[in-house]
Structure formats: structure tokens, C-alpha cells
Amino acid sequence: MDAGTKLKLVYGDVTLGVSGSNFRYLFAYDRGGLESLVQNGKEWLYRVPQPAFWRATTDNDRGNGFSLKSAQWLGADLFSACTAIAVKVDGHAIELPIAPVNNQYSAIETAQSVDVQFTYTTPTVPSTTVTISYHVGADGQLVVRSRYRGVAGLPELPAFGIRLCTPTLATGFDYQGLSGETYPDRMAGGVAGTYHVAGLPVTPYMVPQECGMHMATQWLRVTRETTLNNADTDTSPFELTIRQDQSPFAFSCLPYTPSELENATHIEELPVARRTVLTIFGAVRGVGGIDSWGADVEAPYHIASDEDHEVSVIIEGPVASPRG
């Protein structure tokens, strides 16, 4: 096989570097996740992706006390720690290649595929685990999969997904899915199609809250024009494309984390928008609507905490067509 189609691996002391044509990914053992996702010279990650458990309290959540009941998940959203890392090369598990294990490797290491799995343990009582695994193919395609392990005794989940944060603001995004802002119990009116969203609009609810969900999405392409790289003066648009794996996914693409939204009582209190917070959801709780002072979200739209949940998406490699 042509070496050019293989991944180059760098078994560092702190990271596992995986690169190929126009991409380089760094999996950081100390940070507990994918630290760097560079395609065509542009960095896409500000910090390592994290499991997402929280949604900024909606008015209905406040009214029916859901935030109180599920408050542990806010802590989990902020403070879950990476507690295990596993690596496979060409499908075979290897001993975690940190020093001195990595002394066995050389400057010229290649593979057809690499799998890295991070396990996060929640600070809930009882605790549970979430894995985020990355499968890197030779063309730079990343299959990202997250699994939540259900345990008894925890409150229902406000959300479950993977949260990625980019170093700078996106100028907008395109997706194929449903029009507008949709939730599992409010998506009948969403019209299937391909949509462009300019900027990163925060739905201006009077009190900032969970917003911007897009259910049943086939693909998503986020566009940026700026980086934090001082040596990069190029301001032409560049893109990252995410496609469904086994089934359509839900996402929100906002300039704020749930905690930032949670803190504000008015839209003008939100901080200056600096980054793109892209969350890929494996489970979305409905918003409800019977009333705003006690009525629960209808039962089918809850997220059980004692059942497993899973989400997987494909981050396209640098040369793939977005609509491929």
C-alpha cells in the first residue's frame, strides 16, 4: 500500500499525534481528550471536547422544578474528569503509549486507522461513565462516538451529547435537517431541507435559556474565517463538516455554553461572543408547554438516566465534499 494513504503517528510523551494529508489531530493524555483538530492548517478545538449533560434552564424547567431535580447534571457538565484512555492501532489494542512505553516506537510510524477512547466519570451520586471515542481513518475522517452508561438512582438527564468548542466564532453554518429551532416534542412543524444560518444567533428569549436545537440532522457544515494563530493572516472561509453516522443527529451551534446562558437574566448580560459551542446530542429532552408552573414534559420526551444512550457522527476529513 502506498505510504501516502497511511496515517502518520507520533507517539509523544503527552499526546498521540495522528496526521495525514492536510490534517493533524492530537489526542492529549493529560487533557483527557482530543486536544487539536487541524484541517488545512486551521485549528478547530479550543479545549478538548467534553460530555454534555446540562441545558440552560428553560422557563418551563424552572416552573416545574426540573433544574432542581436534575442539578447534579450541571456539576457533571462542568466537572466530569477523564479517568481512562484506551488506544487501538489498526484495530488492535495497544498498551497506552506513554513514557516509557512509547520508547519502543520510532519517528516513522504509520497505520491505516487509530482508535482512541476517553472515559469520563461523573461527579454525580452515584457516578456513572461516558466514553468518547475517536476512530481516525487514513483520509482524516473521524468517527466520533459517545456512550452514556445508565445507572439507577440518578435524576433524569437534561441532555446528553458531546460539546466541542472552537477557538473563534463561526460566521455561520449550513445543515440538512429541519427548519428552525426544533425539539423532540416540537418538531412536527420543522420542514426538511438544507438551511444556512448566518452568524450564531442566540434565540432572544427574554431570559436566556436553552435554545437553538436542530433535530434530525443529516449533515452540518460550520464555517469560520478567523483563527487564534498569530502567524495565520488568511481570512478566507474554512469549514468543518459533520455527517450522520448510523442515524441523524441533533445539534446546537451557539456562541455560549449552557453555563454562560444560565448566568444571564437578560440577553445583554451575555458575554462578548468569542467562540463557537457546537454540541452534538445523543438525547434531547422535550421543552414541554402545557404550562410553565409545574406541568412536566410529556413522558416520551424525557431522557432516562438508567438507560444507556449513544451518539455517533462523522467528522469529514479535509478533502471530503460536505454533501458527500
Partner 1 sequence: MDADLTWLDDPETFRVNQVPAHSDHRGYATVAEADQQHSSLVQSLDGPWQFAFAKDPMHRPRDFYQPDTDRSTFHDIEVPGHIELAGYGQIHYINTAYPWEGKHYRRPAYAMGAEKRERGMFSTDPENTVGAYVKHFELNQTLVNHRIAIEFDGVEQAMFVWLNGQFVGYAEDSFSRSEFDLTPYIHPGDNLLAVEVFKHSTAAFLEDQDMFRFSGIFRSVRLVAKPALHVEDLTIRATVDGTLKHGHLQVETTLSALHHVTGHMRLQLLNAENESIWSQDQALARTVTVQTTVAAPRLWSHQDPYLYRLQIELFDDHDQLVEVVPYVVGFRRLVLQNRVMILNGQRLIINGVNRHEWDAHRGRAVTLADMHSDMQVFHKYHINAVRTCHYPDQVAWYTLCDRNGIYMMAENNLETHGTWQKMGVVEPSYNVPGSLPQWQAAVLDRARSNYQMFKNHPAILFWSLGNESYAGDDIAAMDRYYHDADPTRLTHYEGVCRNRAYEDRISDMESMMYDPPAAIAAYLENDPQKPFINCEYMHDMGNSLGGMASYDALIDRYPMYQGGFIWDFIDQALWCQDEVTGNQVLRYGGDFDDRHSDYEFSGDGLLFADRTPKPALQEVSYYYGRRD
Q: Which residues bind partner 1 (CB under 8 A)?
A: 58-60, 63, 179-191, 203-207, 209-211, 265-268, 286-293, 295, 297-298, 301
Q: Which of 219, 274, 261, 208 is nearest to 242 (CA)?
A: 219
Tell me how far apart the alpha carbons of residues 75 and 122 are, in angstroms, rounded to a whole number.
Answer: 8
Beta-bridge partner residues of 244:
313
Q: Per the omega criterion (within 30 degrees of 0), is the bond before 126 cis?
A: yes
Indicate the residue among 107 and 206 with the shorter CB distance to partner 1: 206
Half-sphere exposure at residue 85, Cβ-oriented, CA atoms within 13 angstroms: 19
Indicate the residue among 97 and 288 with the shorter CB distance to partner 1: 288
Instruction: Give least dist CB 241 to partner 1, A.
Output: 25
Compute CA 279 distance to the chain's CA centroid, rounded to the nearest angstrom: 4
Structure-block grid coordinates of residue 220 = 452540518
Indicate the residue among 159 and 287 with the shorter CB distance to partner 1: 287
Rounded to 5 degrees, what angle do the CA atoms 135, 147, 111 make?
15
Q: Which of 273, 225, 218, 204 is nearest to 251 (CA)?
A: 218
The distance in angstroms from the start CA to the end CA of the chain is 25
Half-sphere exposure at residue 136, Cβ-oriented, CA atoms within 13 angstroms: 31
168 touches 118 (CB < 8 A): no
Indicate the residue among 46 and 301 with the shorter CB distance to partner 1: 301
Enclosing H/E stretch for 86: strand 81-89
Collapsing DSSP to helix, strand or coil, 170 comes out as strand
Enclosing H/E stretch for 11: strand 7-11
Tell me how far apart the alpha carbons of residues 214 and 197 are, in angstroms, rounded to a whole number.
Answer: 12
Instruction: Give least dist CB 189 to partner 1, A.
Output: 3
